Amino acid sequence: MKLIRVKNYEEMSEKAAALLGETVAKKGDSVLGLATGSTPVGMYQRLADAHNAGKLNLSGVCGVNLDEYIGIGGDHELSYRYFMSKNFYSLFGFDESRAHIPNGLAADLPKECDRYDALIEKLGGIDLQVLGIGRNGHIGFNEPDEVFLKNTHIAELDEDTRAANARFFERPADVPSKALTMGIGAIMAAKEILLLVSGSEKAQALKDAMTGDIDPRLPASILQLHPNVTVIADEAALQK
């Protein structure tokens, strides 16, 4: 794992946008694995600015998101589809038919998981996967478990994950308890992975992921086995 140390969130976002931009400059039709949450928002803003300034052309890429809550539709303001539209795609007028996110309202959820894996395969796999990390070491919604789950699956969200995400909801009880998430297989098959980490609350998880045992109880630790991972972490996240 290659580590890039940066001062703060702003620098992390700047560096991440520059690296992702390099990938897109080399391959205009890159398949980008994308994350939601607070971590990538600054990167998305910078990428959209670069596109709008004519310095980068994002119109040929495909977005494939990691996860979506179950029970919430794509037009619900707390859904991850809505999040992506608001924080990235609408900022540069992206054709959202090129943006893929699991459907949390699918009537047959196991079938939706299979559809999502087949879609990623049909797109030729992921060129660059952007990841954040949970305080408990989750990536996507691959939560601490006894095994690493390979395929897209239904995830039972940890109490810690629900507590961390409660900030987006009016009442903590409203945070969904289940989500659909890309599995470890598609993430690890990505040609390149960019793990973004900011803030002291992620420091222990980051240290364990980078230097601890490879253990499904700390899902991000599997990234040690990937040949092309770049971690961009700020001072607060590197304090352990």
Cβ contacts of 150 within 8 Å, gap of 6 or more: 183, 184, 185
Site mask for ligand F6R (CB under 6 A), range 176-215, x = bound? ----------------------------------------
Contact stretch for ligand F6R (CB under 6 A) within 1-9, 15-23, 137-145, 210-218: 137-145
Cβ contacts of 140 within 8 Å, gap of 6 or more: 35, 66, 67, 131, 181, 182, 183, 187
CA angle 153, 155, 160 (to 5 degrees): 155
Could you say whether residue 132 binds ligand F6R (CB under 6 A)?
Answer: yes
Q: Single out the residue of 66, 109, 180, 205 in contact with ligand F6R (rule: CB under 6 A).
A: 66
> Which of residues 30 and 181 has its CB atom nearest to ligand F6R in the complex?
181
Could you say whether residue 6 binds ligand F6R (CB under 6 A)?
Answer: no
Cβ contacts of 115 within 8 Å, gap of 6 or more: none
Could you say whether residue 153 binds ligand F6R (CB under 6 A)?
Answer: no
What tokens were used for 239? 């304090």
Distance CA 19, CA 2 (A): 13
170 in active site: no
Could you say whether residue 38 binds ligand F6R (CB under 6 A)?
Answer: yes
Q: Single out the residue of 67, 158, 192, 234 in contact with ligand F6R (rule: CB under 6 A).
A: 67
Q: What is the DSSP letter of 142?
A: B
Catalytic residues: 67, 136, 138, 143
Site residues for ligand F6R per CB under 6 A: 35-39, 66-67, 132-134, 138-140
